[in-house]
Amino acid sequence: MKKLILSIITSIIITAATFALPGFESYLPDYSGEYVYYKDNSFTRESYVGILYYNESTLQIRYYAPQNNVNYLPEKNISILLTINPDAPYWEMTGERMVSTIMPGTEDVDLVNYLHDLLYEFSAHRIKTEIVENRETRIIQDYEQFGGSVTIIYDCTIPMFNIRDIIDTEGKTQLKCITTGRLKDNSDTSFDDFKGFPQENTETTGSKKSKSKKSKAKSVKYSFENQTLTLDSDWTQAMDNLWLLRNDSVATLSTLPAFDNDDETRNQLFILRRVIQSAQNAYTNYSSLSISNKDTIKITSKVFHSDREQNVYSTMILSKKKGSSDFDIFSISTYEEPWLENTSYFQKIIKSYSN
């Protein structure tokens, strides 16, 4: 439960150090420690590519493939630290250091070359694209690494190159963003530790039936600043704005400061980018991500906690703070089993929130 609480708190921390990649202007700034992971379907085996941003002159790129017992393929983990010229108008690599062991004369060399080409092409295609100011900009471009003509979906909430998906002419997604995140500090190994998401057991998941939580607990209405939330006496108030339901669930009320007071759209997109990012060893699964934007922004997702090998169901509601550019935020995170067994109970709590 302590790590569940920390993952929520660290996910909304905003700091000031920003940088930019060469050759194009980003609508939202990139921050040191931000990363993105893609599932790369151009390989015949399960493969992931991650890019970690240190600053405008240093990045890390990693290829990971889990062990495949059916085809007798060993686990593969290749990681490269790269330096680039931040003043060049295009991608100009100035140095590299192998973080992982590379075996000469093996496919490792081809994989290193593939990662080099991927970054070069990412940069070249992004430079050719106009500024990305929304969550979905579709552009048809030629991309030989992925079979020729492709549709690239750009999304300004994705760090660095803003690439979310690459889809070929047959409609197959060759490259798909599966998570983004930001490292907490130098001791956070979440980027290097990522190994994909566990396969869903549809029989087990589907067999769980939602039911109302049986309890005689009395309803209790809580408030934090201008926000209110109705829980019950089974919950324990741990802080002024944080409540625990045993080891099952944690609920918080907080305020996120504005990033840009002069541009409401940019401010909203930046806040959205920050709150959906993975925290330390707690990876937001983009395949489960749902974002609705009406009077408020409601974000639902499934977050995989690798230290406990458990999924957490997360719901966040962002509401514009009255008379301010800041956002009020309600968050509730619940481990998978209690959520699936008592979904209507937790949904009732979510509906009780107001600001």
pLDDT at 1: 55
d(CA 9, CA 7): 6
d(CA 181, CA 31): 11
Residues facing 318 on adjacent strands: 297, 329
Nearest Cα to 91, choosing from 65, 43, 56, 60? 56
Helix (H) / strand (E) element for 269: namely helix 264-275
d(CA 133, CA 205): 37
3-state class (DSSP) for residue 22: coil
Cβ atoms of 229 and 253 closer than 8 Å = yes
Tokens 């408020």 correspond to what residue?
296
3-state class (DSSP) for residue 315: strand
Tokens found for residue 163: 């690439």
Q: Cα(first)–Cα(last) distance of the chain, in Å? A: 27
Cβ atoms of 60 and 37 closer than 8 Å = no
Other beta carbons within 10 Å of 76:
18
Q: Is the pTM of this model over 0.85?
A: yes
pLDDT at 273: 95
pLDDT at 16: 46
Please give the average pLDDT of every successive group of 10 residues along the chain, which has 355 residues. Answer: 50 52 91 97 96 95 94 94 94 94 86 96 93 93 91 97 96 97 94 90 46 69 94 95 95 92 91 94 95 88 94 95 89 96 96 93
**Cα 171 versus chain centre, distance:** 24
d(CA 82, CA 71): 32
Other beta carbons within 10 Å of 272:
21
pLDDT at 57: 93
d(CA 142, CA 204): 42
